[in-house]
Chain A
């Protein structure tokens, strides 16, 4: 009985995630491979959340909040967790301009290495604001795919940019649901090796 309930709940939660996504996982979508380098754009603690989600998804990853080009060695996917925290920037001894320059440099380097970029926005509505929006506008267009927690996209900013740039966008109802999306994104890759 308990087992069937768990199965039922799992199926239900997977279905919820599936139906909440504006894009379905399609075979022609970009494929991401492991290992991942997870870094922040804005130094919010959301990058730590991404690290935990990746771990839960069983992905091989390295987390470096202040990653630079040298951290890209042997990396197959760059994961950029967008979200500005003034507190996080302060703790890292950075201002917004310095952080923007670092991320720009990293994205350029990833492009040079042919390393695809996966953008995450996990902080929901609370992690939006002038500075975060600047980062979204600056960096999301370079992504091959984006995963966002739905409440962070109520104004459709992610949808707009992704549609313009033809970037597949996946939405999770809750932060924890992003694990399922990560699993799907990377499983697709395993099922369809290049």
Chain B
């Protein structure tokens, strides 16, 4: 009995030691961040939950990269830059070091909001008529040509943010992106579809052997996408410093690639690039205060305009996506687009009447002009470039850390897969943001040396009673600010949760040359609303139920009383989020 007991005790002890041994082994391994699985139906609204910090981005691997940094003690800026690098590897068709963007930062300790503008710039040889051929705009080549490439700003902007407001070194935040590029990941349906959509451009500029094609054909869902060239480039940046991108070997390769495709970027253009730090643009909606970016980013300005106009309407009693609401918002959008074409340019070179455009007085004038039961005969004349219509592109990420620091970052290489040009052996795509300039030489937004083209981006942070309430942004070309405005109204007026607000059906319209254009709607908008709108003169164009044409918003909502963070990620793309 005793012997048996001793034997049993030994057995228990042995099991205990084995368990301890394996536990200690597993705790030595780098811990995998658990990202909660969204519902099987990815369009079903799903709020990610966190207590201390949260990252929401357009790809789960980018979320993982940011969350790891937060858990290691990095702040929101460190995490945002880690996610931004990871997006270059995991969602390379939408953003990366070949592009640019804007970020809005809230620095909790200083209780201050600031903006870093790392939008691309035109090269020195840019000129207003560079996109004309025999006096006509040549749209067939201007987006997939060397002339489409603007001087990239992403790496300089991220490095600036990290150095000034982060706590980590570049190498510390780049690890995960290198791993993603080297090890690869399964291609999603979204990736595959976009890869197929842009096949012609990729074949033309990147070539059949590019990592962006799978043996010369687009990737299928489930294929593994690896980008060893990008991993090498990122390692090179760590060893040589980010300045190498602007002055060293990488710069040389960028210039060669762009010039081989007919572009005009020089080493001098790259070496002269610098991001700028600016005060945010501020607006209010009822008891909420909103901070976003200044022009040439137009998203923030137009969101403020639209919210100012909306303050004049009983939208809550009209009801969500009621004909009254859609009609009034549609008309407001048409006025805003007219303003956009008339006034928006790079404020370093032209005067943009930001204060006038965002004033409550001006909004009241527009609200008064809107007729409840018919369309305007005429809108102020504009030169809105209709060829920008189908861009879906760009990406947004939102981050908050335990101290309450916030980053709302939108970045892009413009069209999906940018210009399609990949500098030799580097694995990254160059933007085609020169196409965001107007091709019309007399436009306020015409290309000129060193100018930044107007952008629709609008990363924002919204405050309620002086405290951060909502961190939000979206891709989607000119749908960015219409979609973000709708999400804000869905939350504030229609009482939706964050992800309900993001997933809710959207609409979009605009004006061009003073005339109303079609009203685009996701097919989930009720047919009775569609019929009523048709009856008062709208020409309706129905899009898919969850159409990435309308963007892919990523947001975080802060509920201070409940001490909870809610994350919302758009199922129109591969949005994901995680908190801890």
Interface residues of A (CB under 8 A from B): 44-46, 48-49, 52, 85-88, 90-91, 123-127, 129-130, 151, 174-176
Contacts and interface: CB of A to CB of B under 8 A. Distances in A.
A141 to B, nearest CB: 24
Given A125-B189, A126-B192, A129-B544, A45 B197 contact: yes
B355 interface: no
A48 B220 contact: no
Give the residue among B196, B198, B389, B390 with the most A Cβ atoms within 10 A.
B196
B217 interface: yes
Nearest to A151: B221
Contacts of A127: 193, 196
A176 B218 CA distance: 9
Interface string B383-399: 00001011010000000
Contacts of A49: 196, 199, 217-218
Contacts of A125: 189
A130 B189 contact: no
Q: Which 8 A-B residue pairings sit nearest by Cβ, starting from the closest?
A: A126-B193, A87-B390, A45-B199, A48-B200, A90-B390, A45-B200, A48-B199, A129-B544
Given A45-B197, A49-B199, 15 more contacts: A44-B197, A45-B200, A46-B199, A85-B197, A87-B197, A87-B390, A87-B392, A90-B390, A123-B193, A123-B196, A124-B220, A124-B221, A126-B192, A175-B217, A175-B220
A90 B387 contact: yes
A48 B93 CA distance: 19
B197 A130 contact: no
A58 B310 CA distance: 60
B523 interface: yes
20 contacts: A44-B196, A45-B196, A45-B198, A48-B203, A49-B199, A49-B217, A49-B218, A52-B216, A86-B390, A86-B543, A91-B139, A91-B140, A91-B390, A124-B220, A124-B221, A125-B189, A127-B193, A175-B217, A175-B218, A176-B217
Contacts of B217: 49, 52, 175-176
How many B residues are at the interface, by size bracket? 20 to 34
B341 to A, nearest CB: 18
Interface of B: 139-140, 189, 192-193, 196-200, 203, 215-218, 220-221, 387, 389-390, 392, 523, 542-544, 549
Contacts, number: 57
A90 B386 CA distance: 9
A174 B220 contact: yes
A190 B532 CA distance: 59
Contacts of B215: 176
Nearest to B214: A176
A175 B217 CA distance: 8
B351 to A, nearest CB: 32
Nearest to B139: A91
Give the residue among B220, B392, B544 with the most A Cβ atoms within 10 A.
B220
Give the residue among B192, B200, B543, B544 with the most A Cβ atoms within 10 A.
B200
Contacts of B543: 86
A151 B196 CA distance: 14
A175 B197 CA distance: 14
Contacts of A44: 196-197
Contacts of A129: 544
A51 to B, nearest CB: 9
A51 B27 CA distance: 53
